[in-house]
Amino acid sequence: MNIAALFPEFEYGHAQLNKFVEAAGYFTILLKSGEIIHFSPERPEEFREWLHIHKIADIKTSN
């Protein structure tokens, strides 16, 4: 379990993130600033878990 504020190889802290959507290990992320970024981690399952730990909303499952 990775509860660190920063995920390895990812330049943004969890506090900067608003929502995300994932397709085949490729993440599209909406920052709180309104900017949209993309990230393709080497370990997508660990990044997904990191997002969930920090309560970053998954657009696919958000109401």
Which DSSP letter does residue 56 get? P
Assess contact for 39 and 29: CB atoms under 8 A. Answer: yes
How far apart CA 56 and CA 9 sit, in angstroms, is 18
pLDDT in tens, 17-27: 999 999 999 99
**Domain residue spans in the chain?**
14-58
Ranges assigned E (strand) in 1-63? 17-23, 26-31, 36-39, 57-58
pLDDT of residue 62: 67
Q: What is the mean pLDDT of residues 17-41?
A: 97
More confident residue, 63 or 24: 24
pLDDT of residue 24: 94
